[in-house]
Structure 1
């Protein structure tokens, strides 16, 4: 089972990247679970036709009880991707990170991985602050590899550095390791040089270079990933090639 946590600064496009990567794995015939670990609970929206699904924490608040069946807190999206959103507390109350921890424990009790038997599990994690529950995919053994989404923008690279440092802090405990950088282009000046220098200084590779594309926005307006919209597009091939690369690395 390939288990990947995708981190990045808020607004950098990590949910777009994660959703398209999930769709790419599904396009390749793999059974995929995508778990959104963000209080906004919108990670899976483009796999679900533009619909925001109920979150785990939202269900618990509404029913004042934990769900008993996986179907109550999951939806099946494009390509059979099983979609789950952790959600978070009522805005202004409680810790969002605790929602992630509570959700993970609940999914363990439900024996999610044994029952669904996925080939790939993707965690879409807010990366501005890598602490508490937001670090759970790294430190609890849920993910084996971390991919960091960044552009060449200063604050995106700053967040990427914090994420890389956080993962390195767990290096001696057998937890997830950084598997590389996904360059999600914003077309800022000298973007290639900035991201390449950042990666080289930290001994990381750029595993994918996603171009800025109007096609992504066009299909998102329709509630779709570009893979669902047109798998033959240049930008779609970038996601499919990344999925193939990650699967090949898993075989090594």
Structure 2
């Protein structure tokens, strides 16, 4: 019987789990800074803790986050805030033997006419399929899993140090069903009004106005470039009924830099 082969590419962000068969990539984000005309080099280390060689192709891509924070990819050099054209890689094909670590140098040359705008791109390390790669057999179909690592690359002008986010809206948008359970969904919209990239988190809690009972939902991390806006959803289980005071807490960078937004909710 004929056997088919399905190649499945998995995009991995962060330090990779055992699903990547012992491959780790570090760091996962590269931050360059400096003035117009400056240059700098950073090193990415790829380590193979597995038992078979891995080959990767290195390439650059553009990307941005949509309104809900999901990444959207585009060809290198096509987005307004791309810095892909400023980058040069020491090599584009990297083979890492078992037990070996390889270094990939990423060199950035900032144009002399660069403005004071944060720019970004993505360094993609895509596994190259080889004849010797193992595959999973399932109903006579061979599924070959390939891994693609996305490393964020940021350039921040040396004078861009203002980290500031704030709420622009908090709305109760209605009921949603998740895994057969009903929730009241709250949409919290934030904007980066600073001039540098910010790693922050948003907490949301509700207080029953009749009983005073407080309920805290799981915080959500956000990473935003300047001028970006993002909607973060919080889902409140349907069992909470009545009049509530909703409070959103935005922790900008350090825990000491806090913004608070309030919303009366009828659930």
What's the TM-score, normalizing by structure 2?
Answer: 0.24
Structure number with greater CO (CA < 8 Å, separation at least 6) is: 1
Higher Cα Rg: structure 1 or 2? 2
What's the TM-score, normalizing by structure 1?
Answer: 0.25
Considering fraction of residues, name the structure with more strand.
2
